[in-house]
A and B are shown apart, each in its own frame.
Chain A
């Protein structure tokens, strides 16, 4: 729940209130609120938590983190279908967990 995923700012909608931008998380693109980093620029990397950019991040560590998150399935956990995940949890049998 405190996971914050690094992403690249692809575009910024300066008309939006609150300030909003399109963020690329290693291929998955989502809108995020940029109000807490008002001077962020297109091309910069940020860490995003529940749709809010909270801090800037350098490109090298952002890419390394994204690669790791992808490998561990954390991107699926963060952006995937929570109902499916909950249903899986409820229906899982001993042998399916692992």
Chain B
């Protein structure tokens, strides 16, 4: 879908593109933080519709993709145990661990269940008092209130057979890590809209000021993304670096106070490893001491599992916006959704998956990542 006519409001899309084109006088590199935004951009060909001065760098905002390999291996270890009912979001099923994925564990007899909500896992724990029900609690700030509520309810109900395997990550420390990398080319951020629905925008003014980058809170639909880009480009052209909310219909400045209170009660900030990226200080959440009894890592004694990433997979560089998926030698060859080397190829928010689904005809790009202008589809 690369023609502007296919947007839900083509006239508005064209107007936004015209405004961006009129504003831009030199090259700018913007990072969209969230994997959902990346998918929307590639699916709708937004990067190809933009003036060539505006480059979109894909960010690390795919929780499934950044969950470290040793946590995935811990999940496999726990899920394969006979006493365990292992519950996960569907997105995790095909994420490759060292030698298998959850899909395979189920095939080998493990009781792996897909749940829509962590409260569904809690319900399974109530229904199966003789089984250990473990929920794979991954996600960014958007998902944290849900996972926090599940363990809060487990304690309230005294469900001793429920636990969480926690690998929660926080977006702002990752944005900071990106800005401090020596190879950083990012000049502005499209911040992840639904993260801000929960967290509000209070974490961003310092970041915008410190690194002198515009931070525009942006939604996920094609028109939302164009609006976010328009605002970021306007700021950059004027030499400004402010926090702007381009997604006010779902984001309030103060976030969701009730959800924030629950996160505060259940989780505490911790350093965390990001798959392919490495350790980022204060970039994660873990259960507080009050909820430690519900931590699956302790309950099943898997803290000893340590694993190394496969060297051939360049997902880490993709996640940091250093390369586009098509620049990886394995893309579409050794690495496909059927035989993924990294999580970015199978997650519904992974950049490699987005390029494989919507851009395969153009791949592999031999040099650089930008698609030649002559291959672009006409606008309007």
Contact = CB atoms under 8 A, between A and B. Distances in A.
B360 interface: yes
Nearest to A38: B258
- Interface size range on B against A: 35 or more
B94 A86 contact: yes
Contacts of A58: 249
B357 to A, nearest CB: 7
A49 B142 contact: yes
Nearest to A68: B8
B79 to A, nearest CB: 14
Interface stretch (B115-123, B295-303, B318-326): B115-123
Nearest to B88: A82
B250 A57 contact: yes
Contacts of A50: 89, 116-118, 139, 143, 146
Given A35-B258, A51-B117, A85 B90 contact: yes
**B36, B64, B348 interface centre (most CB from chain A within 10 Å):** B348
A29 to B, nearest CB: 13
B126 interface: no
Interface stretch (B193-201, B229-237, B270-278): B193-201
A90 B96 CA distance: 12
Contacts of A67: 8
B259 to A, nearest CB: 4
B337 A89 contact: yes
Given A37-B258, A67-B8, A92-B337, A55 B251 contact: yes
Contacts of A11: none
Contacts of A91: 338
Given A37-B256, A50-B143, 13 more contacts: A18-B153, A35-B149, A36-B259, A50-B89, A50-B139, A50-B146, A55-B256, A64-B8, A83-B93, A86-B103, A89-B337, A90-B94, A90-B338
Interface of B: 8, 34-36, 43, 61-64, 89-91, 93-94, 103, 114, 116-120, 138-140, 142-143, 145-146, 149, 153, 156, 192, 194-195, 197-198, 220-221, 249-252, 256, 258-259, 262, 337-338, 346-349, 356-357, 360
